[in-house]
Amino acid sequence: MKILLPTSTAGSLPKPTWLAEPEKLWSPWKLEGDALLEAKQDALLISLQDQLHAGIDIVSDGEQTRQHFVTTFIEHLNGVDFEKRETVRIRNRYDASVPTVVSAVERQKPVFVEDAKFLRKHTDKPIKWALPGPMTMIDTLYDAHYKSREKLAWEFAKILNQEALELEAAGVDIIQFDEPAFNVFFDEVNDWGVAALERAIEGLKCETAVHICYGYGIKANTDWKKTLGSEWRQYEEAFPKLQKSNIDIVSLECQNSHVPMDLIELIRGKKVMVGAIDVATNAIETADEVAATLRKALQFVDADKLYPSTNCGMAPLSRQVARGKLKALSAGAAIVRQELI
Ligand SMILES: [Zn+2]
């Protein structure tokens, strides 16, 4: 990235009301068939326009074509039965009815590659594409086939790698893996989680990122955060291993969070997407608040490696609030950029 402090979002942006019910996570589609396909593309273009208008430097599809950051990907694979459901505990936090892995998982066709080509056709800006991470994928399923979290994660890593290579060929500049599970299953992260992630990026020449966060601003997550005490040190567990990994960029949440900023020191040498926008509140940050967070991060990450971003996706927010937050991110980054020249 040639420009200093290039801005981006962690992932999702709100969908238009005609596509899905607003301000709701995992809201069902309002259309079907060809009308839905066309509407998703229209929404993707609006989302792109919102990012360009706000001056975001690394743009994305705003995840307009997916209902859920994990299950939409899994729905496209063989081996998972969505009719056969079991209740499991997601990230040790809340119970959910999830689909069952009934046979070998495989990807018969690309999942997001056409969407990525569509986005590529409509912008010259660098684009970032988010995929679920292997550990977060296994955590949303009941496994009646492999009976091993590690084995299933490894199979998903191979599938993600196939998808990632095709996304790269479609012109994606940064491929990001969403691994909120890295903030929960520390032993597994170090035993095989980072290795599975590295399997997913094997052979890629484009930049790669891992997004680790404390989740959307939904109740299960905000309740969990209340139990974490005054300092959130979860990143401490995965960062040493990630620092030694082949991943180029680590995306973490910093705005209004209790994450001690000096934990970033543990990934010295990596590029860092610093979350400077809180996604769990409707209050729109001022440019100065964003700038203050970025300045704090600059103590622990070199300026040419700092990528201002959002804490997490903004899908559950209103479009008006999300637009305001995108603008605040740009304006805050501009202030600090001025100070650095
Ligand atoms: Zn997130």
In the reported structure, the alpha carbon of residue 65 is separated from the centroid of ligand 1 by a whole-number distance in angstroms of: 18
Q: Which domains does the chain have, with CATH numbers?
A: 33-340 (3.20.20.210)
CA–CA separation, 278 and 213 (whole Å)? 11
Look up residue 89 and give its two tokens. 């505990």
Q: What is the pLDDT of residue 1?
A: 61
Ligand 1 centre distance from Cα of residue 225 (Å): 14
Q: Which residues of the chain have pLDDT under 50?
A: none
137 Cα–ligand 1 center, Å: 14
How far, in Å, from the CA of 214 to the mean position of ligand 1?
Answer: 6
20: CA distance to ligand 1 center in Å?
A: 20
C-alpha 283 to ligand 1 mean position (Å): 18
Q: How far is the CA of 311 from the centre of ligand 1 (A)?
A: 6
Centre of ligand 1 to C-alpha 341, Å, is 31
Q: Which of 296, 294, 289 is nearest to 308 (CA)?
A: 294
Give the Å distance between the CA of 251 and the centre of ligand 1: 9
Q: How far is the C-alpha of 310 from the C-alpha of 275, rounded, in Å? A: 4
Cα-to-centroid distance, 34 and ligand 1 (Å): 30
Each residue's pLDDT tens digit, 85-134: 999 888 878 888 999 999 999 999 999 999 999 999 999 999 999 999 99
Q: Which two tokens stand for residue 209?
A: 């990122």
pLDDT at 226: 85
Residue 211 sits at the vertex; the CA angle it makes with 94 and 16, to the nearest 5 degrees, is 75
Distance 61 CA to ligand 1 centre (A): 16
- Residue 244's Cβ-count burial label (10 Å; 0-12, 13-18, 19+) is exposed
Let me know: does 259 contact 232? Beta carbons within 8 Å. Answer: yes
d(CA 335, CA 167): 33
Q: Are 211 and 179 in contact (CB under 8 A)?
A: yes
Query: Using CA atoms, how far apart are residues 182 and 171, in angstroms rounded to an integer?
Result: 28
Q: How far is the CA of 308 from the centre of ligand 1 (A)?
A: 14
Distance 338 CA to ligand 1 centre (A): 29
What residue type is 238 in one-letter code? Answer: A
**Would you state the pLDDT for residue 91?**
80
Kindly list the protein residues that place their beta carbon closer than 5 angstroms to ligand 1, a single-atom ion. Answer: 213, 312
CB-CB contact of 197 with 133 (8 Å): yes
* Average pLDDT over the chain, rounded to an integer: 95
Whole-model pTM: value is 0.96
What is the structure's pLDDT at 25?
80
pLDDT at residue 215 in the model: 81
**Residue entry with tokens 């040639």:** 2
Nearest to 257 by CA among 288, 297, 220: 297
Q: Residue 251 — φ and ψ, nearest 5°?
A: -105, 125
Decide the pairing of beta strands 142-143 and 94-106.
parallel
32: left (phi over 0), alpha (psi -120 to 50) or beta: beta
